[in-house]
Amino acid sequence: MDFATRIAAWQQRHGRHDLPWQNTRDPYRIWLSEIMLQQTQVGTVIPYYERFLGRFPDLHALAAADQEAVMPYWAGLGYYARARNLHRCAQVIVSDWGGRFPPDASAIATLPGIGRSTAAAIAAFAYGERSPIMDGNVKRVFARHFGIAGDPARRETEIRLWALADAQLADGAGQAVDMAAYTQGLMDLGATVCVRGKPRCERCPVNETCIARRDGRQAELPTPKARKASPERRTGMLLLQHDGKLLLERRPSPGIWGGLWSLPEFDAGLDAAAACKALGAAPGAVFELAAFSHTFTHFRLHVRPWYVVVSQAPAALERPWRWVDAAGAADVALPAPVRKLIDGLFAAGLPQDVMAPAA
Ligand code: SF4
């Protein structure tokens, strides 16, 4: 039996069948799941997926919404460019495709934020199209099974992996394969059997032809990326409290946390009271909160947060800004670490004098 047929047959017997985005051919629902699942685990995605669909049940509901209304349904999932592209994409489908999802993988791949693999997955699940996928998990399966060395993120390795993926569906191979089962099978195999650490080769449907298994090279394939030290950045954050409310600023888009609400930032080396005055606010009590770090794809951010009770609110700021109480904060899209910080402060009742003042 060929590679694709073995994977599809395995998926039908042993794969996952009850995920909320399975058992539908609606490209909107499939597309949403594929975008949410990029760099994010299934268990994390499920509640977000259901909440998102509850608010935006179809493409037209999403296209008609303001981006501002979409972000709270993504806040906490990270990689916010995905949400902005999703929204833009819905508007493009309405304006350029008459509100109908494009009919094949190559047309889907022209939409904002949709790469070749995601387009192929949507087309396979929605239309049964014979287009191969090649996401991170699938690269691992292919690199091991076909014994392909080289960093899979490098162009030349990627070209070889895509060529192999095409070959599994070329004339004579995988001719009668159920594309939805094959595509899901590759995903399931990468997520549950051919896993990053120790693959469970004894349960693998393609173990008899696997080169990594034959040669005992599972640990060295795929070739790990050459590690570069992640750059470090530092910032100060101001939690300005006035009249029981905290000041939020909307982050510029595109950019880190673009389109989300966050706290005003300032140069971490500067004095918080001075940063406060620079915003036009009159600082009263100033407290330093516990510092924390957050890892982004390309750098690590170290944050020094300062809680400042202001006697006079700033008159105007460059970016859109708003004052929120606890209920207001619950309604806006905040990055996960900022959400944690703000919720902690509101839970403590916006203290006036219980914290040790900054030295
Ligand atoms: S035999 Fe092992 S290493 Fe090879 S594809 Fe299957 S799980 Fe991965």
Q: Which two tokens stand for residue 171?
A: 């004339």
pLDDT of residue 356: 45
Q: What is the pLDDT of residues 26-35, one digit of tens each?
A: 999 999 999 9
pLDDT of residue 230: 83
Binned at pLDDT 50, 70 and 90, residue 316 comes out as low
What fold does the segment set 3-132 form as a domain?
A: Endonuclease III; domain 1 (1.10.340)
C-alpha gyration radius of the chain? 24
Mutual angle of helices 136-145 and 179-192, in 10-degree steps: 80
By percentage, how much of the chain surpasses pLDDT 90? 73
Q: Where does the chain hold its CATH 1.10.340.30 domain(s)?
A: 3-132
What fold does the segment set 133-167+193-227 form as a domain?
A: Endonuclease Iii, domain 2 (1.10.1670)
DSSP 31-61: HHHHHHTTTS-HHHHHHHHHHHHHH--SHHH
Stated pTM of the model: 0.78
Q: Which mutation among 11, 145, 189 tests ligand 1's pocket best, with the greatest number of atoms within 8 A of CB?
A: 145
Binned at pLDDT 50, 70 and 90, residue 278 comes out as confident
pLDDT of residue 352: 67
Binned at pLDDT 50, 70 and 90, residue 254 comes out as confident
211: alpha, beta or left, given left = phi > 0 and alpha = psi -120 to 50?
A: alpha
pLDDT of residue 357: 43
Ligand 1 atom index nearest CA of 199: 7
Ligand 1 atom index nearest CA of 189: 7
Q: Does residue 141 have its Cβ closer than 6 Å to ligand 1?
A: yes
Ligand 1 atom index nearest CA of 205: 6
Q: Which two tokens stand for residue 269?
A: 């080396």
Q: Does residue 218 have its Cβ closer than 6 Å to ligand 1?
A: yes
Pairing of strands 321-324, 245-250: antiparallel
The Cα–Cα gap between 349 and 326 comes to 9
Q: What is the pLDDT of residues 65-113, one digit of tens each?
A: 999 899 999 988 988 889 999 999 999 999 999 999 999 999 999 999 8
**Helix, strand, or coil (residue 67):** helix
Beta strands in the chain (DSSP E): 232-242, 245-250, 261-262, 265-266, 282-288, 292-295, 300-312, 321-324
pLDDT of residue 215: 97
Neighbours of 179 (CB within 10 A): 22
What fold does the segment set 232-347 form as a domain?
A: Nucleoside Triphosphate Pyrophosphohydrolase (3.90.79)
**Residue bearing the bigger pLDDT, 353 or 131:** 131
Binned at pLDDT 50, 70 and 90, residue 173 comes out as low
By percentage, how much of the chain surpasses pLDDT 70? 96
Q: Is 34 a catalytic residue?
A: yes
Contacts of 87 (CB under 8 A, 6+ apart): 62, 63, 65, 67, 70
Ligand 1 atom index nearest CA of 210: 4
Examine the pLDDT at 174 and tell me if it is beyond 70: no
pLDDT of residue 318: 67
Q: Which mutation among 188, 192, 193 tests ligand 1's pocket best, with the greatest number of atoms within 8 A of CB?
A: 193
CA quadruple 107, 113, 114, 117: dihedral sign: positive
Question: Mean pLDDT lowest for which of 58-62, 277-281, 329-333?
Answer: 277-281
Q: Does residue 242 have its Cβ closer than 6 Å to ligand 1?
A: no
Examine the pLDDT at 270 and tell me if it is beyond 90: no
Q: State the distance from the centre of ligand 1 to the C-alpha of 187, rounded, in angstroms.
A: 13
Q: What is the pLDDT of residues 186-231, one digit of tens each?
A: 999 999 999 999 999 999 999 999 999 999 999 999 999 887 788 9
Query: Are the C-beta atoms of 312 and 282 separated by less than 8 Å?
Result: yes
Query: Are the C-beta atoms of 139 and 222 separated by less than 8 Å?
Result: yes
DSSP code of 354? S
Q: Where does the chain hold its CATH 1.10.1670.10 domain(s)?
A: 133-167+193-227
pLDDT of residue 170: 87
Q: Where does the chain hold its CATH 3.90.79.10 domain(s)?
A: 232-347
The Cα–Cα gap between 312 and 310 comes to 5
Report the nearest-CA residue for atom 1 of ligand 1.
207
Report the nearest-CA residue for atom 8 of ligand 1.
194
